[in-house]
């Protein structure tokens, strides 16, 4: 990777870091509100895996949800802003390959997702004593999740012509996928039909695999989850690279 890639990556990292109160602090506050409300209402009524308190069960899901949503937001918002304001031309003019273009945006998305997820984790340490049964699983699912959503965010940002379209993509696709993935519940608490439906949601495998890294317990095998997530990440990456190579909605 050359100087152009490093410059674009630096620009994308700096873009969200310079407004950290909005891009980092606000999502952390949102996750904390979820934690406070759901743990207060359900702590005494919901038991998961018998020995795990509901608040402890909830925290890894909130961390991963924050990683995914912010990774998607980073690449999608950057591209749509550049397109709407017209300064996308300054990113396309330098001698960057489409692979470098892709790698810079996805790595920046992973960076923002991990920063926000780390912020949520640090704040939740005041509320719950977490265990870390398999740290490598935690790291693997966090990075893969950021990559998957970063690539999907690029597709959304390239496809959308205005902020309303991007908001629709986020509200009707990203939000349902994350909220119906087991963040707030174990899928074994669902009727059999909805358990089957949940297995078609790739975000479920991210949440479950990430949670497995903390407790050593999950609803499916972490290896199955890793395979599904890796396949989806590869699929979204191939689609994004193809779109970039063709210059769809980027070149006049």
Q: pLDDT tens digits for 41-91?
A: 766 666 677 678 888 889 999 999 999 999 999 999 999 999 998 888 888
- Return the pLDDT at 249: 85
Residue in the structure block whose two tokens are 């870390």? 132
Nearest of 17, 232, 76, 50 to residue 141 by alpha carbon? 232
Ranges of the chain with pLDDT below 50: none
Q: What phi, psi does 52 have (nearest 5°)?
A: -100, 125
Give me the half-sphere count of Cα atoms (radius 13 Å) on the Cβ side of residue 53.
14
Domain count, the chain: 1
> Does residue 90 fall inside a structural domain?
yes
Q: pLDDT at position 252, please?
A: 57
Look at residue 251 and tell me if it is in a domain: no
Structure confidence at residue 43 (pLDDT) = 66
Task: Say if 229 falls within a structural domain.
Answer: yes
Residue pair 60/211 in contact (Cβ under 8 Å)? The answer is yes
Q: What is the pLDDT of residue 45?
A: 61
pTM, two decimal places: 0.93
Q: Does the residue 104 lie in any domain?
A: yes
- Is residue 206 situated within a structural domain? yes
Domain assignment of residue 148, given as a range: 3-246
User: In the prediction, which pLDDT does 89 show?
Assistant: 86
DSSP H helices in the chain: 3-17, 20, 26-42, 54-85, 89-92, 98-124, 135-159, 163-169, 175-179, 192-198, 202-215, 222-246
- Cα four-point dihedral sign 62, 65, 71, 73: negative
In a domain, 252, yes or no: no
What is residue 157's predicted lDDT score, i.e. its pLDDT?
95
**Is 110 a member of any domain?**
yes
Q: pLDDT value at position 174?
A: 92
């Amino acid at each position: 990777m050359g100087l152009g890639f490093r410059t674009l990556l630096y620009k994308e990292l700096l873009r969200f870091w310079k407004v950290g109160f909005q891009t980092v602090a606000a999502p952390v506050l949102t996750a904390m509100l979820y934690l406070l409300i759901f743990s207060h209402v359900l702590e005494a009524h919901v038991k998961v895996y018998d020995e795990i308190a509901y608040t402890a069960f909830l925290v890894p899901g909130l961390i991963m949800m924050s990683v995914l949503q912010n990774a998607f937001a980073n690449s999608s918002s950057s591209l749509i802003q550049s397109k709407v304001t017209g300064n996308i031309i300054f990113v396309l003019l330098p001698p960057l390959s489409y692979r470098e273009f892709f790698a810079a945006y996805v790595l920046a998305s992973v960076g923002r997702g991990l920063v926000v997820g780390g912020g949520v984790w640090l704040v939740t340490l005041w509320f719950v004593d977490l265990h870390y049964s398999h740290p490598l699983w935690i790291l693997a699912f966090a990075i893969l999740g950021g990559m998957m959503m970063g690539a999907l965010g690029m597709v959304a940002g390239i496809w959308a012509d205005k902020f309303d379209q991007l908001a629709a993509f986020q509200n009707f696709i990203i939000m349902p996928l994350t909220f119906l993935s087991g963040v707030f519940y174990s899928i074994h608490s669902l009727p059999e039909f909805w358990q089957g439906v949940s297995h078609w949601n790739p975000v479920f495998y991210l949440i479950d695999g990430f949670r497995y890294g903390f407790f050593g317990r999950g609803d499916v095998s972490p290896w199955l989850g890793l395979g599904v997530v890796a396949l989806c990440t590869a699929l979204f990456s191939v689609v994004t690279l193809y779109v970039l190579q063709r210059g769809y909605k980027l070149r006049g």
